[in-house]
Amino acid sequence: MIGTGLAVYVDYGATVNRFACRFVSNSTKFSSPLFICGTEMSLKVYIAGELVDKADAKVSVFDHGFLYGDGVFEGIRVYNGRVFLMDEHIERLYESALAIRLEIPLSPAEMTEAVNKTVAANGITEGYVRLVISRGAGTLGLDIRRTSDPQVIIIADTISLYPPEMYRDGLKVVTASTIRNHAGALSPRIKSLNYLNNILAKIEATDTGCIEALMLNAQGEVAECTGDNIFIVKDGVLKTPPPEAGILEGITRGAVMGLARQAGLTVQEVAMVRHDIYIADECFLTGTAAEVIPVVDLDGRKIGSGTPGPVTKDLLERFQTLKTGG
């Protein structure tokens, strides 16, 4: 029986072609597992209730998700062919949609099935799912009553946010002058399509040669980074900003807090300022795409020893075990 296996990317200069590799046999007839590669395979995208080639995955230019960033999304990881913490992500997706009065045309059970079908159709065993719900097409105006047919779009593909050496050596982060959205203006609990706040801070980071930026809230307190939650370790206590600091309560953040408590660590959600990070023993970030990644420098100041610390390493190892179902 032939099953879909890995997806291989072959780079010819500026052109990247996606090829399908199909597992053929692991029997004694062959000296090693045999894969056949070479047939070009188009990425399949779920849209309007169907799986279509990515070139055919299109939305209207009048969709309010495109015109105004009016919609919500989730990012979910796939490990060993298993969608990781799917229930938690689906629950947050529907809560975000409810908060902006966006009615999703699928039930949570149907959404879960659609995600699994999209992952399977693309042969993803290690990858990332981007789940997007847009308001739908409407008029050139903000009135949601003049929109119709909310769109459900699911993309499943491979991802590599940071190079492997950064998990070994740690990140250097810079504080952005762009502050985190005020919670009274846009609730950080809504994972909305409008990510301009984060993008502006990310631009500041890349302009200084860093990959990630720390964002403060209007009170000057530590909120989060552009795509990740932040933790510090001080005197054996794990600390992270509370929800009222203006953070998105990350799914990975919650998982890591649970792992830390299982390891016997005291975990505190407390208001912090940059000074607390400067004098911390350790620092790391968590996120769906980033997983758990050490931070060794903030604003040119070495954090702790300047290398990933023992608590960070232990939690990273525990997370690796959790994600693989160990």
Half-sphere exposure of 314 (CA within 13 A, CB side): 15
Sequence-distant (≥ 6) Cβ neighbours of residue 232 within 8 angstroms: 238, 239, 240, 272, 276, 277, 280, 281, 282, 283
Sequence-distant (≥ 6) Cβ neighbours of residue 17 within 8 angstroms: 9, 10, 40
Asked if 290 contacts 211 with a C-beta cutoff of 8 angstroms, the reply is no
Give the count of beta carbons closer than 10 Å to the beta carbon of residue 213. Answer: 24
Alpha carbons 253 and 230: distance in angstroms, whole number? 8
Facing residues of 294 across strands?
Answer: 284
Q: Which of 44, 191, 202, 239 is catalytic?
A: 191
Question: Three-state DSSP class for 214?
Answer: strand
Give the N- to C-terminal CA distance of the chain in Å, as an integer: 29
Identify residue 46 by its one-letter amino acid code.
Y
Alpha carbons 326 and 323: distance in angstroms, whole number? 8
Spell 167-191 as b/e; 16+ CB within 10 A means b: beebbbbbbbebbbbebeebbbebb
Helix (H) or strand (E) holding 112: helix 108-121
Distance of CA 305 to CAs 39, 69, 167, Å? 50, 42, 16
Tokens 């290398």 appear where? 307
Task: Give catalytic status of residue 234 as yes or no.
Answer: no
Alpha carbons 170 and 280: distance in angstroms, whole number? 15
Return the active site residues.
191
